[in-house]
Amino acid sequence: MGKGAQNYTGKSSQDSDQYPAWSKEIHECEQHYQVDIKLGLSDDEVKNRLQKYGTNELDKHEGQSILRLILDQFNDTLVRILLAAAVISFVLASYDGEETAFVEPLVIFLILVVNAIVGVWQESNAEKALEALKQIQSEQATVIRNGRKVSSLPAKELVPGDIVELRVGDKIPADMRVVSLISSTLRVEQGSLTGESEAVSKTTKPVGEESDIQGKKCMVFAGTTVVNGNCICLVTETGMNTEIGKVHSQIQEAAQNEEDTPLKKKLNEFGEVLTMLIGLICLLVWLINVKYFLTWDMVDGFPRNFQFSFEKCTYYFEIAVALAVAAIPEGLPAVITTCLALGTRKMAQKNALVRKLPSVETLGCTTVICSDKTGTLTTNQMAVAKLVAMGREPNAVRSFNVEGTSYNPYDGRIQDWPAGVMDANLQTIAKIAALANDAGIEKSEKGYVSTGMPTEAALKVLVEKMGLPTGLGSRSSTGDNDLMACSHEWSKIETRIATLEFDRDRKSMGVIVSSKSGRNSLLVKGAVENLLERSSHIQLLDGSVVELDNRVKTVILNSLNELSSSALRVLGFAYKEDPSEFTTYNGDEDHPAHNLLLDPANYSKIESNLVFAGLAGLRDPPRKEVRQAIEDCRAAGIQVIVITGDNKNTAEAICREIGVFGQHEDISSRSLTGQEFMEHHDQKGHLSYKGGLLFSRAEPRHKQEIVRLLKDLGEVVAMTGDGVNDAPALKLADIGIAMGIAGTEVAKEASDMVLADDNFSTIVAAVGEGRSIYNNMKAFIRYMISSNIGEVASIFLTAAIGIPEGLIPVQLLWVNLVTDGPPATALGFNPPDKYIMKKAPRRSDDSLISAWILIRYLVIGLYVGIATVGVFIIWYTHDSFFGINLSQDGHTLVTYSQLANWGQCKTWQNFTVSPFKAGDQIFDFDSNPCDYFQGGKVKAMTLSLSVLVAIEMFNSLNALSEDESLLTMPPWVNPWLLVAMSVSFGLHFIILYVPFLAQVFGIVPLSFNEWLLVLAVALPVILIDEILKFVGRLTNRSQPDRRPSKRKTE
């Protein structure tokens, strides 16, 4: 469902008062929050602060009451007209006293009730995003108070100034300043809040006051998770003042002012025009017929002796009600819902799960897709893209391209790889990558997934692709079910006996391994520059070791720069045989060397005098199908804007690779950080650029502002996202698209559509499906509206020429709801235009019905009116029509003048009527010949209704294509339409030939000749529309394409 753009500035009311703890030293934070880190707060101080700041909970948002939601369902022009018609029909039925008269108002009321129930159910789901947000809050925390550690304190009782201990796996309960690290390193998974693709290392050192959320390295945020290390933190913000609290407020703001979808706006506009037209036509009908119920004499030039007939006034009032019922396409809401539901099924088959039906239609006019990078354009699975090993000579290196974009070891291979004859240098790299590694890979329902750090999992996949050297076996010999067969083989050869954990200072991780012969080795992986500083030698291709001099170091650093410039994350590999203090170490805690491992400060010294072996470039690779999807967007006139929380270089490299930017294109003006965009002097001008755009290091407020400005520019915006930080923008966009695999529940609940495969190309396929559905909806809307125009013309002509009423409201209701319904629904199965994704998107304010289409359907409508009224007149005035004998039932013929002045029947001399037969009934008018024009019109009325049904069935064939002839697009291109026409005719036969139903609808069975008359009058509608289509095609060819550009001109 479309959303209203909020004038969101990105700052909460608390931001201006917020203490910048991230930019202050620890002792300054202690002073500000009046707390001693070792002792924590006292109970009295906690009590005071709870009163001042409130509990550490997100506000409970009170949604609209059920009554309010129900009333909102009637805030629709068409619904209000229907409601008025139902009330008036009910009053007239009460006055009439006949039981069948109540059918019409009851059916209309039933439609309105069902419509209200569906609307209430849909809108009551809107608040679930806020509830899902609360589920990611921590429930308990370990706190230091009164100098004692309190375990499992309810997180809602935390206050600013509390001292909290965090451990691996803990969900962080509030926004906090890191004040001391218990472990050597602390890493937090905060991608759902910030959009970063990897866990982030935290520090106690302050950062700049103007740092963005990703730059606040000394802060941890509520709702994120500790993945490595232990620490002590100081609570700085709680509840709604936390970053997640601000997201909660933004979702609430974005949900408050939801706009209607483009289609609903058009239908509302149509309803308003319809209301005006109905009013004018009703007034005209009354003015034409006022002479029948209000008469007067002219005396001395002034009207005198007024005579008023209440009965006739009521009769013409019923005609006005019939006019309202005829003008409103009552079945339209049901058919639209059915078509959208069918569309959601088609989209679900393409992995796009639609949560809100109207978004199917909105997708069809999407002009901009704002896509997240991580997990949508990329796989969200780290993979090694490049392996650099040492050559035969010290100043030479070898480079291997590694295929594959996932954690599947069988996905791709290493190009130019010496399979089975791995040299000593490559064996060393494989051994380090396999053993200095805590991650794993496994196959699950969601595919191949990692356990542990993504970068380490990618190295495990690399090891499997490298294979095993001759003599160590092969992947096939170890069994296909073991995804890490090669890594397991290396672990059998060398056993890990100690780990030197990663820390932010030395930027490396090492393990001590022991071979079967009892010889120990130190294997290290980490940042290339740091390893080179601690290396004294390099290993060559044949395994020989030579000294690392400046020339060799330059060669390695050049390789590093080449990989880094391609936005790859680079890890180096090094080792040391027989590390001095650990030559005899076996993992025993009593060994003298064990104490060295207990203090991380010793790790840099242990990892010195290393032998450098090689390096690998890793990345989160783009999905294979994304580049083609970007091309499809370009062909379809859809702009792609990438908005990511990741760093600028990585994002730019990915955008070049997938085709958002050219490989050598200057993108300095098209790639901005979120902060740079917020400070841009002409934001709308920047967004008006017609090519691809990139925004990196984007925060939630940046995403919202971009979406809001795009909507101000007249764009229809689809926004993708997976994290908590994306939820406000998802809610604000016209189409919010969440990731089904990597997406948080918050993002899913805030979205309109969920991608089951997290794939950008699925969005493009869904847009194509949305366009096709919209075209089909236009077909059946035009069909239904043209049918209604015909019904209005019929009633208007009846009233204008003064003949008896040929169609009563309950019959019109039956046609609009039941007989029109199946063909209109079947038009939703029209095959898509094969060039549908080669056309520019329609503007959201494009007219549903063009001037020419309106003229066409006014002509068709006029014919429907003439045909239905004409067949009524023919039965009364002719005994045959084009050779079809109509006198078999024995009915009495009258002149057209008598028929048009039937109200004066009682004044006619010697007027008699013969009995006639209809089905098994005999109609006799001996007692009251004038009843021939009321009770006796049942056969003529049946003919009118049957002609109306038949014309509308044939008219549905005209709606197969807006311009194409039935000769080029024959009816069998949509077999469902032929089935639907059969169903509608079948339903019409049922009410004709089932006596009880015939009585309810005031009709009688027809003879074979009478059916021939119906077809003779109905079939010309196809010929008329074919002529109009031909004229339309000629007109289109003679005029240049004046389609407006996609964008509004600023």
SS3 per residue for 292-356 = HHEEEEEECCEEEEEEECHHHHHHHHHHHHHHHHHHCCCCHHHHHHHHHHHHHHHHHHCCEEECC
Cβ partners under 8 Å of residue 656, min gap 6: 662, 663, 665
C-alpha to C-alpha distance for 1014 and 1024, rounded to whole angstroms: 17
Task: Judge whether 782 and 857 are in contact, CB under 8 Å.
Answer: yes
CA distances 791 to 39, 565, 798, 948, Å, are: 84, 70, 11, 8
Among 384, 425, 322, which residue's Cα sits nearest to residue 796?
Answer: 322
Three-state DSSP at 696 gives strand
Question: Is the pLDDT reported for residue 1043 higher than 50?
Answer: no
Q: What pLDDT band is residue 96 in, cutting at 50, 70 and 90? A: low
End-to-end CA distance of the chain: 26
Q: Is 68 exposed, middle or buried (CB count within 10 Å of its CB: 0-12, 13-18, 19+)?
A: exposed
Please, are residues 452 and 438 in contact by the beta-carbon 8 Å criterion?
A: yes
| Whole-number average pLDDT of the chain | 81
- The pair of structure tokens assigned to 932 is 């021939």
The string of DSSP letters for 872-937 reads HHHHHH-SEETTEE--TT-PPP--HHHHHTGGGGGG-TT-----EEETTEEE--SS-GGGGGTGGG
Q: What is the secondary structure of 507-551 as a DSSP string?
A: -EEEEEEEETTS-EEEEEEE-HHHHHHTEEEEE-TTS-EEE--HH
| Calpha distance 965→342 (Å, rounded) | 26
User: What does the pLDDT read at residue 827?
Assistant: 81
Torsion angle, CA of 300/301/305/307, rounded to 10 degrees?
160
More confident residue, 675 or 293: 675
- Mean of the pLDDT values across residues 511-525? 90
> What's the whole-number mean pLDDT along residues 941-950?
92
* pLDDT class of 541 with cuts at 50, 70, 90: very high
Give the pLDDT score at 255: 64
pLDDT tens for 251-287 read 777 666 556 666 667 767 766 776 777 777 777 777 7
pLDDT in tens, 381-434: 889 999 999 999 988 999 999 998 888 899 889 998 887 688 999 999 999 999
Q: Name, in order, each residue with C-beta under 8 angstroms of 816's C-beta and a sequence gap of 6 or more.
A: 325, 326, 328, 329, 330, 331, 784, 787, 788, 791
Residue 472 is classified by DSSP as: S
One-letter amino acid of 452:
G
CA 248, 254, 255, 261 torsion-angle sign: negative
| d(C-alpha 984, C-alpha 236), whole Å | 68
Task: State residue 88's pLDDT score.
Answer: 73
**Interval 125-151 mean pLDDT:** 66
Structure tokens, 70: 């129900």
Cβ 695 vs Cβ 644: under 8 Å? yes
Pick the range with the lowest mean pLDDT from 157-161, 450-454, 708-712.
Answer: 450-454
Distance, CA of 760 to CA of 630 (rounded, Å): 9
**Mean pLDDT of the 642-660 span:** 85
Q: Tell me the mean pLDDT in the region 186-196.
A: 78
**Cβ(415)–Cβ(403) below 8 Å:** yes
Kind and range of the H or E element at 753?
Answer: strand 753-755
Chain center to CA of 348:
12
State residue 1013's pLDDT score.
Answer: 92
Residue 398 pLDDT: 94
Spatial contact of 451 and 441, defined as CB atoms under 8 Å apart:
yes
State yes or no: pLDDT of 100 exceeds 60.
Answer: no
Name 278's Cβ contacts closer than 8 Å, sequence gap at least 6.
81, 323, 324, 327
- Residue 498 DSSP class: E
Instruction: Name the percent of the chain lying above pLDDT 70.
Output: 85
Mean pLDDT of the region 751-763: 82
Q: How confident is the model at residue 510 (pLDDT cuts 50, 70, 90)?
A: very high
> What does DSSP say about strands 639-643 and 187-189: parallel, antiparallel, or unpaired?
unpaired
Phi-psi region of 50 (alpha: psi -120 to 50; beta: other; left: phi over 0): alpha
Do 746 and 765 contact (CB within 8 A), yes or no?
no
Given a cut of 50, whether residue 10 has pLDDT beyond it is no
Checking if the pLDDT of 851 tops 60, the result is: yes
- For the chain, the residue count is 1050
C-beta separation of 357 from 344 below 8 A = yes
Q: Among residues of the chain, what percentage have pLDDT more than 90?
A: 23
Q: Supply angle C-alpha 373, 378, 384, rounded to 5.
A: 130
| 682 belongs to the catalytic site | no
Q: Dump the DSSP string for 183-232.
A: SS--EEE-HHHH--SS-EE--SS---TT--GGG-TTEE-TT-EEEE--EE
pLDDT value, residue 269: 73
Whether the pLDDT of residue 614 is over 90: the answer is yes
Q: Which of 509, 506, 607, 611 is nearest to 552 (CA)?
A: 611
Q: Exposure pattern of 25-34 as b/e (b: 16+ CB <10 Å)?
A: ebeebbebbe
**pLDDT class of 702 with cuts at 50, 70, 90:** confident
For tokens 């202050």, name the residue. 24
Give the best-scoring range by mean pLDDT among 705-709, 962-966, 1033-1037: 705-709
Note the pLDDT of residue 481: 67
Helices (H) then strands (E): counts for the chain = 37, 34
Nearest CA to 1008 among 955, 1050, 946? 946
Determine which one of 372, 722, 734, 758 is catalytic: 372
Cα 839 to Cα 660: distance, rounded to the nearest angstrom: 19
Q: What type of residue is 298?
A: M
Q: Are 131 and 24 in contact (CB under 8 A)?
A: no
Tokens of 529: 């520059």
Q: Are 450 and 407 spatial neighbours (Cβ–Cβ below 8 Å)?
A: yes
Q: Lowest-confidence range among 5-9, 603-607, 1015-1019?
A: 5-9
Query: Contact 349/712 with Cβ under 8 angstroms?
Result: no
Checking if the pLDDT of 808 tops 70, the result is yes
Rounded to the nearest 10 degrees, the angle between the axes of helix 760-801 and helix 332-349 is 160
Strands 610-619 and 569-577: antiparallel
pLDDT, residue 14, reads: 40
